[in-house]
Each structure stands twice: as structure tokens, then as C-alpha cells.
Amino acid sequence: METFDRPSPYENFLIWGVKIIAGLLILIFLGIHFIVNHLLAPEGLLTYADILAYYQIPAVPIMEVGFLIVVVVHALLGLRSIFLDMRLPWKFTRYMDCFFITAGIIMITYGTWLVVRVVQLGRSG
């Protein structure tokens, strides 16, 4: 009978630490996002024009891309941990890692492209 109280051989302290740090960064980014977009905004919500102007501040796109990165990393590492808890075969785990890395790169690339596009729309309008 297999016991499930031992740590997974595919998850080390570094990966666990990245998950924890990403979770803390999410709380910080989410707090800033909530304050700016809901407490400081007139009527509690930014308009489309407000968002385009807001994204012209150089720190904003950087912060938004940082938020995107930590959310994607934290979410995918969390999903990976769930699958690792199932004690799936090693070969499946390797394919799963490749899938999560590829999916993360695609999500971060697409999200970054959207942020750049919003910045460009603000400059042209």
C-alpha cells in the first residue's frame, strides 16, 4: 500500500518557493489594482478613455505585465501540484511540464501583446 504523506519527487523547494512568492506578489498587485481602478477612479470604475490615458504612465504597463506573469506562474504551478499529487507516471509528468511551460509562454505573450496594444491605442487617440 502506497502512503501519500511523502513529498512528490517532481516538486522541489525552489518550485514551492516560487509559488509562495508569486502568491504574495499577486496580493500586492491585486491591492494596487483595486485601489487605482475602484477606489481612486471616479464612480468606482475607469472608463475606456481613462484606461487609455492611465496606460500612458510608463510604470502601469510594466506593473500589469508583472501581474500577468505572477498570476500565470502561480496558477500553472498550482495545477502542476494538483496533478503531481495524483502520482501520475513519470512520462506523463514530463509531457505535462512541457504543456504547462508552452501554455504559460503563450498566455504571457498574448497578455503582453494586449498591454502593448492598449498603450499604442492610447498614443494614437
In degrees, to the nearest 5, what angle opens at C-alpha 19 toward C-alphas 17 and 25? 105
pLDDT tens digit sequence for 17-26 = 999 999 999 9
pLDDT tens digit sequence for 68-114 = 999 999 999 999 988 888 888 888 888 999 999 999 999 999 999 99
Sorting pLDDT into bands at 50, 70 and 90, what band is 61? very high
Q: Which amino acid is at 111?
A: G
Q: Kindly tell me the sign of the dihedral angle through the C-alpha atoms of 110, 114, 117, 119.
A: negative
* Residue appearing with cell numbers 508583472: 66
Query: Do residues 56 and 122 touch, judged by C-beta distance below 8 A?
Result: yes
- Global confidence as pTM: 0.84
**68: number of CA atoms within 13 Å, CB side?**
18
Q: Which domains are present in the chain?
A: 13-124 (1.20.1300)
Query: Do residues 27 and 86 touch, judged by C-beta distance below 8 A?
Result: no
Contacts with 26 (C-beta within 8 Å, 6 or more apart), sequence order: 67, 70, 71, 74
Q: Which amino acid is at 35?
A: I
* Residue appearing with cell numbers 504559460: 104
112: its cell numbers: 503582453
